């Protein structure tokens, strides 16, 4: 099944009135689920439903419940969380999105942006039915999706969240599928690389947000490299998050932060060495006046530019300047240009010093724990 979306603006009252004019299916959970799939897999006619999704408001209070650690509005800011190290208050990721569902409104198969964790809270109303696949079957799931929806996977990709696949197809292929019913006032947590989908059994109200702790860093790096290779704009500035988390010495898993920082530093220093070799006449700029944007992506691979930026002037018009990461600038070497400028957030030595400092802190921490 492919989902087609027609956007309409409705108040909550108008939403409920519109659904009241329809006819909901009542019965046990199994009966509702069977009806859902029968409608979905039927080729006789399309069926329509209403779904208010990605709404930028929250029913969790900002002050009166600030001491509650289950408050989704403050989840990303809790101790041990990594999203507090990003510079951007991203709706739906750092701040919760709300969802008003109706019977058979569907959230299609997907993983979270940048392979983040997610948490969904059902405030009130009818149940949600969830289907989920373990993260270790990530590649196998994508292979089956591509063979089931070859045209969609070629032109849109599964990240568009437009396709609903019968879980029985996955089970027949040997992929385990977890099914659960989320009732009112219950939380559901999804894990990195775990594809999930589902539908609403009736009118309900939920909200969800992403989060990440140090266990996410290896998944975050995989998502960062995958986004870069496929030219997908990332949601989280992964490198910036790693650098800032590594500078925070008093919380989190320092070993995982050290591994992520070491990997980022090795990759960056290797790219810088190759860049300097091929652009030996280009000097590093000590000023960042020409780079005013606080949120800049590589014009080619869409990587968030943080540790280093290359600006290529192809004409006298500033609007035509091209901003590239080091890897893309190296590949772009033979194209004509008027001027090339290069900026580093930190020197090579400063990056290596961050790695060394974290290594020493881990050694001190281990000794301290041993003595206790």
> What's the 3-state SS for the chain?
CECCCCCCCCCHHHHHHHHHCCCCCCCCHHHHHHHHHHHHHCCCCCCCCCEEEEECCCCCCCCCCCCCCCCCCCHHHCCCCCHHHCCCCCECCCECEEEEECCCCEEEEECCHHHCEEEEEEEEECCEEEEECCHHHHHHHHHHHHHHCHHHHHHCCHHHCCECCCHHHHHHCCCCCEEEEECCCEEEEECCCCCEEEEECCCEEEEEEEECCHHHHHHHHHHHHHHHHHCCCCCCCHHHHHHHHHCCCCCCCHHHHHHHHHHHHHHHHHHHHHHHHHCCCCCEECCCCCCCCCCCECCCCCCECCCEEEEEECCCCHHHCEEECHHHHHHCCCCCCCEEEEEECCCHHHHHHHHHHHHHHHHHHHHHHHHC
The candidate with the shortest Cα–Cα distance to 112, out of 205, 212, 185, is 212
What pLDDT, on the 0 to 100 scale, is given for residue 66? 55
| Alpha-carbon span 69 to 79, nearest angstrom | 10
**For residues 320-332, b (16+ Cβ closer than 10 Å) or e, as one string?**
ebbbbbbbbbbeb
What pLDDT, on the 0 to 100 scale, is given for residue 290? 55
| Alpha-carbon span 246 to 136, nearest angstrom | 28
Q: Chain centroid to CA 284: how far?
A: 32
The candidate with the shortest Cα–Cα distance to 25, out of 198, 201, 179, 203, is 201
The candidate with the shortest Cα–Cα distance to 300, out of 325, 271, 319, is 325
| Alpha-carbon span 115 to 134, nearest angstrom | 13
| Alpha-carbon span 174 to 170, nearest angstrom | 7
Q: Are 302 and 227 within 8 A, CB to CB?
A: yes
Q: What angle (nearest 5°) sits at the alpha carbon of residue 304, between those of residues 300 and 305?
A: 90
What pLDDT, on the 0 to 100 scale, is given for residue 365? 79
Q: Are 131 and 197 within 8 A, CB to CB?
A: yes
For β-strands 204-211 and 178-182, DSSP reports them as unpaired
What pLDDT, on the 0 to 100 scale, is given for residue 295? 67
Token pair for 298: 């590589």
Strand order in the sheet with 196-200: 106-110, 196-200, 128-132, 178-182
Token pair for 159: 């990240």
- pLDDT means per 10 residues, the chain with 372 residues, are 56 65 77 92 74 84 62 84 88 92 92 96 95 96 89 65 88 96 97 96 94 96 96 94 88 91 97 92 68 75 94 77 93 82 92 95 78 40
| Alpha-carbon span 306 to 295, nearest angstrom | 9
What pLDDT, on the 0 to 100 scale, is given for residue 100? 92
| Alpha-carbon span 91 to 100, nearest angstrom | 17
Q: Are 125 and 203 within 8 A, CB to CB?
A: yes
pTM score of the predicted model: 0.88
């Amino acid at each position: 099944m492919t989902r087609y979306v027609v956007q309409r603006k409705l108040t909550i009252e108008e939403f409920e009135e519109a659904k009241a004019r329809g006819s909901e299916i009542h019965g046990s959970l199994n009966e509702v689920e069977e009806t859902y799939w029968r409608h979905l897999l039927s080729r006789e006619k399309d069926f329509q439903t209403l779904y208010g999704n990605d709404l930028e408001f929250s029913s969790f209070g900002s002050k009166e419940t600030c001491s509650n650690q289950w408050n989704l509005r403050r989840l990303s800011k809790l101790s041990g969380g990594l999203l507090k190290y990003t510079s951007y208050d991203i709706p739906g990721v750092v701040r919760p999105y709300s969802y008003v569902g109706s019977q058979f409104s569907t959230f299609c198969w997907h993983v979270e942006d940048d392979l983040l964790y997610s948490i969904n809270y059902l405030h009130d109303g009818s149940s949600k039915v969830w289907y989920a696949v373990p993260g270790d079957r990530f590649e196998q799931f994508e292979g089956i999706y591509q063979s089931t929806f070859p045209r969609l996977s070629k032109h849109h990709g599964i990240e568009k969240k437009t396709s609903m696949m019968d879980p029985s197809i996955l089970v027949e292929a040997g992929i385990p599928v977890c099914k659960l019913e989320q009732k009112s006032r219950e939380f559901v947590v999804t894990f990195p690389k775990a594809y999930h989908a589902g539908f609403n059994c009736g009118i309900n109200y939920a909200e969800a947000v992403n989060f990440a702790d140090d266990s996410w860093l290896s998944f975050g790096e995989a998502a960062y490299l995958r986004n870069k290779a496929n030219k997908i704009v990332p949601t989280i500035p992964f490198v910036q998050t790693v650098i800032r988390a590594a500078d925070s010495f008093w919380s989190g898993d320092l070993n995982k932060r050290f591994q992520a920082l070491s990997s980022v530093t090795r990759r960056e220093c290797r790219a810088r060495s190759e860049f300097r070799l091929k652009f030996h006449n280009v000097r590093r700029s000590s000023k960042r006046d020409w780079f005013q944007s606080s949120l800049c992506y590589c014009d080619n691979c869409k990587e968030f530019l943080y540790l280093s930026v290359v600006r290529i002037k192809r004409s006298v018009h500033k609007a035509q300047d091209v901003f590239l990461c080091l890897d893309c600038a190296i590949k772009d070497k033979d194209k004509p240009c008027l001027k090339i400028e290069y900026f580093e957030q930190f020197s090579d030595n400063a990056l290596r010093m961050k790695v060394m400092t974290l290594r020493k802190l881990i050694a001190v921490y281990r000794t301290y724990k041993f003595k206790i």
